[in-house]
Amino acid sequence: MTAYVHVNLRIKDPARQAALAPRFQAALQAAGGRILHFGPVAQVLEGDVAPLPMAGIFEFATLADALAFYRSAEYAPIKLEREAAQEARMFVVDAG
């Protein structure tokens, strides 16, 4: 029952983003998640709404694991800092 968190983002503050990345990666890994992709959006295939220029896809074993990470005390301060570093849209899907 794998779950995927997708984030579509624009980096507003590159220095903050660079400082935040290692902490986010450590918290994600500690929660059992892994990064499948983080980088530029390659091409829009459908739709009228232009995506933000960057995308990330993070994998978790279950939807419960993904939600536990997002709601965790470890991620809370990272999330606040992330909001200052980037504009983002984020959602989770349950592939189970």
Go through the domains of the chain in sequence order and give each one's CATH number: 7-41+53-87 (3.30.70.100)
The overall longest dimension of the chain from CA atoms, in Å, is 37
> Which residue reads 């960057």 in tokens?
54
Tokens, residue 51: 């995506």
Report the distance separating Cα 19 and Cα 77, nearest Å: 13
Report the distance separating Cα 39 and Cα 52, nearest Å: 11
Q: Which residues pair with 86 in a beta bridge?
A: 11
Contact 7, 69 (CB under 8 A): no
Sequential pLDDT tens for the chain (96 residues): 899 999 999 999 999 999 999 999 999 999 999 999 999 999 999 998 889 999 999 999 999 999 999 999 999 999 999 999 999 999 999 998
pLDDT computed for residue 78 by the predictor? 95
What predicted TM-score, i.e. pTM, was given to this entire model? 0.91
